[in-house]
Structure 1
């Protein structure tokens, strides 16, 4: 499966999960490293835009595309398995506990979860401490070229 992540260029190839370890996220508790990817570049862009003011989306951002062997992805989690409030902000313990349990179990390299912004899309959570982590294949690292109409000029 091909997956995508957008970040500042200086962090694109940092696949340690350090950012999520320091701050936690919807699917992991603070102290647990996790990499957040999306099933498409456009879903990845939505994930960035929901957290970042448009004016901060500068030429400093790029994207990384990686390939994960399908057999290393846990795809069992379905929308119906989650509580009605799983999309709330700040994130509820249902999602942080689920993702943290996935990391601790350490059975699969990645977990496919619904995207909170657009649940018919998916995010792919990767455990950087998994024994099969080296089976990830970087396909592309590139500049993020988005339409200037998305960026609000504040001058």
Structure 2
């Protein structure tokens, strides 16, 4: 049975949902610059929180139009990791510990998997998980975007500057 994951991104990049190009260009907590990776989550709520923690002071009202992407992936192609499986300091909120991208590459190689599900740094006690998808894996062709919806920001939410 397929699994469903979610991704937030700007509408202007809707044609790259399954490419991992943003992570490839900028790098991230779990990937080095130059390595494509698709950052998703098992729930839209976690996906949204993961998105807004990276706004670096941009008020939510100043964001370009966002979309919520619902993505289907083969369920048997996901490896689930717990916090105990991750390197020390993986959840540091101030700085990404050195070696996390290399650790994640080793996990993808070791498990030969399309996706790796792991706890969130933003909400570590949540049962929701982040799911990193390798767009270079042979089974990535089985991933498909099920739905794309505009995602309005509730004006009652505080701006990113208040969250910092």
- Picking from 7, 23, 27, the partner of 2:26 is 23
Distance apart, 1:56 and its partner CA:
5.2
Match of 2:133 in 1: 126
Indicate the RMSD between aligned Cα atoms, in angstroms.
Answer: 2.1
- Per-residue deviation at 1:144? 0.3
Q: Structure 1: which 5+ runs fail to align?
A: none
1:28-68 C-alpha deviation (Å, 9 max, x unpaired): 11111100001111101101110113335535111110111
What is the count of residue pairs matched by the alignment? 152
Indicate which of 26, 45, 48 corresponds to 2:48.
45
Query: 1:90-109 alignment to 2 at 5 Å?
Result: 90-104=95-109, 107-109=112-114
1:64 is aligned, of 63, 69, 73, to 69
Q: 1:59 to 1:33 in 2, by over 3 A?
A: closer
**Cα distance between partner residues in 1 of 2:140 and 2:62:** 29
Residues 24 and 149 of structure 1: CA distance in aligned 2, closer, same or farther (over 3 Å): same
Are positions 1:78 and 2:85 aligned together?
A: no
- Aligned counterparts of 1:106 and 1:80: Cα–Cα separation in 2: 17
Q: Given the two structures, how large is their TM-score scaled by the length of structure 2?
A: 0.83
- Which of residues 125, 133, 144 in structure 2 aligns to 1:137? 144
TM-score norm. by structure 1 comes to: 0.87
Structure 2: unaligned runs, 5 residues or longer: none
